[in-house]
Structure 1
Amino acid sequence: MIIVPEKEIAGLISAEECFDAVEAVFAAMARGEATNFPVIREAIGHADALYGFKSGFDRAGLVLGLKSGGYWPGNAEKGLTNHQSTVVLFDADTGRAHALVGGNLLTALRTAAASAVSIKHLAREDAKVLGMVGAGHQSAFQMRAAVAQRDFERVVGWNYHPEMLPRLAETAEELGLPFEAVSLEELGAQADVIVTITSSFEAQLKDGHIRPGTHLACMGTDTKGKQEVDPAILARARVFTDEVAQSVSIGEAQHAVAAGLIAEGDITQIGAVIEGMAPGRTSVDAITLFDGTGVGLQDLAVASRAVDLARAKGVAVEIDF
C-alpha cells in the first residue's frame, strides 16, 4: 500500500494538473464512464463538526475509492485547517487497498479547479473584474485558479468578517492585480465573474445584486441547509453543476428546487458542456451559474495523480498492508 503524506502534496501536484484531472473526470461523468456514489454527510454532535464520505468509480481511469472527512470550525484556533480529509484508493481489479493520500490541500485544489473549469467554459471571454465572496482558507486557491482562466484586471471582494479581507488583498497582490473591499451591492455591480466560497446557511448575494452577463461559481454549498445565493438568481440563470443529484439535494439548487423556481431538468452537468453534448453560455447577457457541490470523483482524480507523481519522485511511502 502506498502512503502519500499531507506534507508532500504541495511539492507534488500543481493547480494546472488538478485542473486537467477535474476537467477530464467531469467529461467522463458526462460520457457515463464515471459514477459518484451517494454522499454521507452529517453533523456528528461534537465540536460543531460536519463529517462524511464521498466515493465513486472512474472506469475510464480505473480509479476507485473514497474521501473521508469534513469541516471542524474550531480548528483554526488549534493551528489546523477547518477542512480535514483523507483519500483512500483501491485497486479496481482486486478491491485491495492501494493508497492512502492526505486530502486537505487536495480538497482546496480540486475545489478551485472545479470553479476554474466553469469559468473556462461558461464565463464571458471579455470578463475583466473578478468578485470574491468569502475570505476563508480556500479563497486564495479560488482566486489563483480563476485568474488563470481570464485576463482579469482587478479583484473586488466581500466577507462577512471584514478582518479576514487581507487574505484576498494579499492574494490579489501576489497575482499582480489591484484589490478593493466593497459591499455586496457594489460587488455585483462591478464583477463579471463571481466566486462564492463561504460556509453560509443564509443567502448573501441577492437577486438584485446580479447583472446580466455575470458568471457565478457557487462553491460553498455542499450540505443540506447551506446557502450562499438567493434562489431567485437560479431562476434567472442558466444553471450548471458537477452532478445534478447532488445539486438538488445538498447543493445551491436545493433551495430553488424546493421553492419551485427551477426543476431538476433545468440543471446541466458541466461535463456535458466540456464534451460538446450541451451548450454553455448562449449570449453575452446570459447569467450562468455553476453549482459546485464537490463530487467524490474530483478527489479521486487528483489523489490518483498525486500517487503517480509521488512514486515517480520517490516520496511515496510503501508498506505491506
Structure 2
Amino acid sequence: MIIVPEKEIANLMTRDAAFTAVEEVFASMAARSAYNFPVVREAIGHADALYGFKSGFDRAALNLGLKSGGYWPGNAAKGLTNHQSTIFLFDADTGQCRAVVGGNLLTALRTAAASAVSVAHLAREDSRVLGIVGAGHQAAYQLRAVAEQRPFERIVAWNRTADKVEPLRAVADEMGLAFESVTLDELGAVSDVIVTITSSFDPILSAAQVKPGTHVACMGTDTKGKQEVESALIGQATVFTDEVAQSISIGECQHAIGDQTIRAEDITELGAVINAKHVGRSSDDEITLFDGTGVGLQDLAVAAAVVDLAVEQGVATEVEI
C-alpha cells in the first residue's frame, strides 16, 4: 500500500493537473462510465463536527475508493485546518487498499478546479472582471484557478466582514490583477464571472444583482439547507452541475427544486458540455450557473494523479498491510 502524506501534496499537485483530472472525471460521469455512491454526512454530536464519506467508481480510469472526513469548526484554535479528510484508493481488480492520501489540500484544489472547468466551458470569452463572494480558506484557491481561465484584468470581492477580503488582495497583486473590495450590488454590476464560496444557509446573491451574460459558479459548502443565491437567479439561468442527484438534494439547486422554480430535468451535467453533447452557453446575454457540489469521483481522480506523481518522484511510502 502506498501512503502519500499531507505534507507532500503541495509539491506534487499543480492546478493544471487538478484541472485535467476534474475535467476528465466530469466527462466520464456524463458518459456513464463513472458514478458516485450515495453520500453519508452526519453531525456526530461531538466537537460540533460534521463527518461523512464520499465515494465512487470510475470504470474508465479504474479509480475506486472514498474520501472520509468532514468539518471541525474548532480546529482553527488548535492550529489545524477546519476541513479534515483522507482519501483511500482501492485496486478495482482485487479490492485491496492501493493507497492512502492526505485529502485536505487536494479537496481545496479539486474544488477550485471544478469552478475553473466550469469557467473554461461556460464563461464568455471576453470576460474581464472576476467577482469573489466569500473570503474564507477556499477563496484564494478559487481566485488562482479561475483567474487562469480567461483574460481577467480586475478582481472584485465581497465578504460579510469586509476586512477579511484583504488576503485576496495579496493574491491578486501576485497575479498582476487589480483588486477592489466592493458591495454586492457593485460586484454584480461589473462582474463577468462570479464565484460564491461561502457556508451560507440564506441567499446572499439575488437575481437583480447579476447582469446578463454572467457566469456564476456556486462552490460553497454543500449540505442540506445550504443556499448562496436566491431561487430566482437559478430560474433565470441555464443551470449546469457536476451531478444532478447531489445538486437537487444537498447542492445550490435544492431550494429552487423545492419551490418549483426549476425541475431536475432543467439541470445539465457539465460533462455533457465537455463531451460536446450540449452546446453550453448559447448567447452572450445568457446567464449560466454551475452548481458545484463536490463529488467523490473528483477526490479519487486527484488522489490517483498524486499517487502516480509521488511514485514517479520517489516520495511515496510503501507499507505492507
Is 2:70 aligned against 1:70?
Answer: yes
Mapped partners of 2:48, 2:62: distance in 1:
36
Q: Which runs of no fewer than 5 residues in structure 1 stay unpaired?
A: none
Q: Which runs of 4+ in 1 moved over 3 A?
A: none
Q: How far is 1:272 from its partner?
A: 0.3
- 1:201 aligned counterpart, secondary structure: coil
> 1:319 maps to what in 2?
319
Mapped partners of 1:274, 1:229: distance in 2:
25
Q: How far is 1:48 from its partner?
A: 2.1
Report the residue type matching 2:48 in the other structure. Answer: D
- 2:202 aligned counterpart, secondary structure: strand
Q: How far is 1:221 from its partner?
A: 3.8
> 1:111 maps to what in 2?
111
Q: What per-residue deviation string (whole Å, max 9, x for no partner) do you get for residues 44-86 of structure 1?
A: 2222221110000000000100001111222222211111110
Mapped partners of 2:82, 2:194: distance in 1:
23
Instruction: Name which of structure 1's ranges 283-292 and 79-88 shifts more when overlaid on structure 2.
Output: 79-88
Q: Which runs of no fewer than 5 residues in structure 2 stay unpaired?
A: none
Mapped partners of 2:196, 2:73: distance in 1:
18
Report the residue type matching 1:15 in the other structure. Answer: R
Report the residue type matching 1:25 in the other structure. Answer: V
Q: Number of aligned pairs?
A: 321
- 1:149-160 → structure 2 map (5 Å cutoff): 149-160=149-160
> 1:56 maps to what in 2?
56
> 2:296 maps to what in 1?
296
Q: What per-residue deviation string (whole Å, max 9, x for no partner) do you get for residues 20-55 of structure 1?
A: 000001000111110100101122222222111000
Report the residue type matching 2:56 in the other structure. Answer: G
Q: How far is 1:169 from its partner?
A: 0.8
Report the residue type matching 1:274 in the other structure. Answer: I
Q: How far is 1:166 from its partner?
A: 1.1
- 2:228 aligned counterpart, secondary structure: strand
Q: What per-residue deviation string (whole Å, max 9, x for no partner) do you get for residues 225-284 of structure 1?
A: 111111110000000000000000000000100011000000000000000111200000
- 1:275-290 → structure 2 map (5 Å cutoff): 275-290=275-290
Mapped partners of 1:8, 1:121: distance in 2:
31
- 1:1-321 → structure 2 map (5 Å cutoff): 1-321=1-321
| TM-score between both structures, scaled by the size of structure 1 | 0.99
Contact kept, 8 Å, 1:221 with 1:227, in 2: the verdict is no
Identify if the C-alpha distance between structure 1 residues 106 and 120 changes in structure 2 by more than 3 Å, giving closer, same or farther.
Answer: same
